[in-house]
Structure 1
Amino acid sequence: MKESSLGWVFLGLAIALELSGTVSMKLSEGFTRLWPSIFMFVFYGTSFTCLNFALHYMNVSVAYAIWSGVGIVLIALAGYFLFAERLPLSSLLWMFVIIVGVIGLNISAKTH
């Protein structure tokens, strides 16, 4: 499988849309608000579609690890900045571990 920049574009879009879907989920307040609930489904569906296209150009292990790992970090930051959720120092440490793991997986995939 040949990796291309188009795969990274699709992966970046998938991550941004997954973040938008998760923010919409929070804003939907348990499906009690119509538009955030609708947006959640649209954003998640489009995110998975973009992830599917990214997999045409990338290994699934790398693409999914980046998609989920970066998504975890971004939604933790969004929770802090948008919803005033706590982000203790220990959480920042574990987010760093996630980022290191994603980078390590990406590096090891390129050496094989």
Structure 2
Amino acid sequence: MKNWLFLAIAIVGEVVATSALKSSEGFTKPFSSAVVLVGYGVAFYFLSLALKSIPVGIAYAVWAGLGIVLVAAIAWIFHGQKLDAWALLGMGLIVSGVAVLNLLSKTSAH
């Protein structure tokens, strides 16, 4: 269970860092640029800890799937990015795929 917490921290770090990329304006804003660097550092450190027991394919699928949905939500809330029905459907399919991997696949580490 601890490794799933590490993966969750890694995902949050990646989402924070990716969301700050737009605000960094090409790394010309020092604070936002620092958030990007620290966020990715946290993300990769905790991902490396999670990979001690979670298979890399499963961890990456969860990381990527949840990261896409969370970054899109943050972009919608803070940057005014529009999400049409197709975007929402696609993100729903991503979340469904991650759920299938974790709930039904024998590949997943439970």
- Tell me what 2:43 maps to: 47
Residues 6 and 57, structure 1, Cα contact 8 Å, conserved in 2: no
How far did 1:16 drift?
Answer: 0.6
Q: Please name the residue that 1:16 is paired with.
A: 12
Q: Secondary structure at the match of 1:11?
A: helix
Counterpart check, 1:27 vs 2:23: yes
Question: How high is the sequence identity, in percent, across the aligned residues?
Answer: 39
What is aligned with 1:58? 54
Matched to 2:47, the amino acid is L
Using the size of structure 1 for normalisation, the TM-score is: 0.91
How far apart are 1:102 and its partner, in Å?
1.0
Q: Deviation digits for residues 65-106 of structure 1, max 9, x if unmatched?
A: 001110000000000011111111110000011111111222
Using the size of structure 2 for normalisation, the TM-score is: 0.92
1:47 shift after superposition: 0.2
Deviation at 1:110, TM superposition (A): 4.0
Q: Report the counterpart of residue 76 of structure 2 in structure 1.
A: 80
How big is the alpha-carbon RMSD for the aligned residues of Structure 1 and Structure 2?
1.3
After the TM superposition, which segments of 4 or more aligned residues of structure 1 sit over 4 Å from their partners?
none
Q: 1: distance between equivalents of 2:108 and 2:74?
A: 31
What 5-or-longer segments of structure 1 have no aligned partner?
Answer: none
